[in-house]
Amino acid sequence: MNRHAGLPNTVHIVDNPYFGGLSQRGKRAETVLRSPYDGMRDNGTLTPHIYNTSLAKAFALATPGAHIMSFSDADMAEKYAGSYGKSRNLLSYDPAAIAAIGGMLAPANENLIREHFEFLNTKYTRNFKAFSKHLGKDLLPADPGMVVTTKIPAECLGKSVKCSDGVTREIKSGHDYSEYLGNETGVIGVDQSITRPSGQSWSLMRWALKAEDVSLVEEGAAKIAKANKRLANAPSI
């Protein structure tokens, strides 16, 4: 939801640090920067979109950070401009780095860059399937990517559980849940729970699927599922 006068009530914001590794949509776009979002770049869609093409990880520009924001229509871009801070000319950011990126994205290198990102997409797809074997019922609908989001099962919250260190802990929130999993299973996730001013909330976790060894992903997912079962059977607070 946004509170800017004259703008739609709902806007989809799309962001992925390895944008080139996203599943391809529609016809094969002409450039690697456009190809992951090809099917979403349709101004006829009911919900307007904002695309954040991050250069931080994909092209090693994390410090101090660089990305390209694109909007589904010019009117929305103009009204949102003030929300994204001061606009900067990328060429003044680091001329040498930008020149190198320009070289990588030159037409002559297009197939090489595509092969790299297609390798990432293949890895994410493989890991997504492995993760889904144990946690598929909790996964939010999404294409395979660098990260995946799951719902925290309701039966895992509001519980009192004795941990391996002998201490009994209460699992009340996503933070408690992520801490419990990290300590008990060695699998680290990020609490992505959302609470709106209205009181509506979603208990969510984010997991990275970057491992080169798919067996590690499946092993981690199995540990999470086992921990979920233990929490579900634990006494309520």
What pLDDT, on a 0 to 100 scale, did the predictor assign at position 2? 47
Q: What is the residue extent of each domain of the chain? A: 12-105, 122-233
Residue 80 burial by CB count (10 A; 0-12/13-18/19+): exposed, middle or buried? middle
Secondary structure string (H, E, C) spanning 136-199: HHHECCCCCCCEEEEECCHHHCCEEEECCCCCEEEECCHHHHHHHHHHHHCCCCEECCEECCCC
The pLDDT score that the predictor gives to residue 163 is: 93
Task: For residue 126, give the nearest of 141, 111, 110, 148 by alpha carbon.
Answer: 148
pLDDT range class, residue 67, cuts 50, 70, 90 = confident
Q: Report pLDDT digits (tens) over 167-224.
A: 999 999 999 999 999 999 999 999 999 888 788 889 999 999 888 999 999 999 999 9
pLDDT of residue 181: 95
Nearest one of 53, 55, 48 to 77, comparing CA atoms: 48
Give residue-wise pLDDT tens across range 107-131: 788 778 778 878 888 898 999 999 9
Q: If you average pLDDT over residues 36-62, what whole number do you get?
A: 66
Residue 1 reports pLDDT greater than 50: no
CA 224 remoteness from chain centre: 19
Question: In CATH terms, is domain 122-233 a member of 3.40.50.720?
Answer: no
The pLDDT assigned to 159 comes to 96
At residue 133, does pLDDT exceed 90?
yes
Q: Give the pLDDT of residue 39.
A: 55
Q: What confidence score (pLDDT) does residue 100 get?
A: 76
**Strand pairing report for 67-71 and 49-54:** antiparallel
What is the mean predicted confidence (pLDDT) over 22-32?
Answer: 57
Q: Judge whether 80 and 4 are in contact, CB under 8 Å.
A: yes
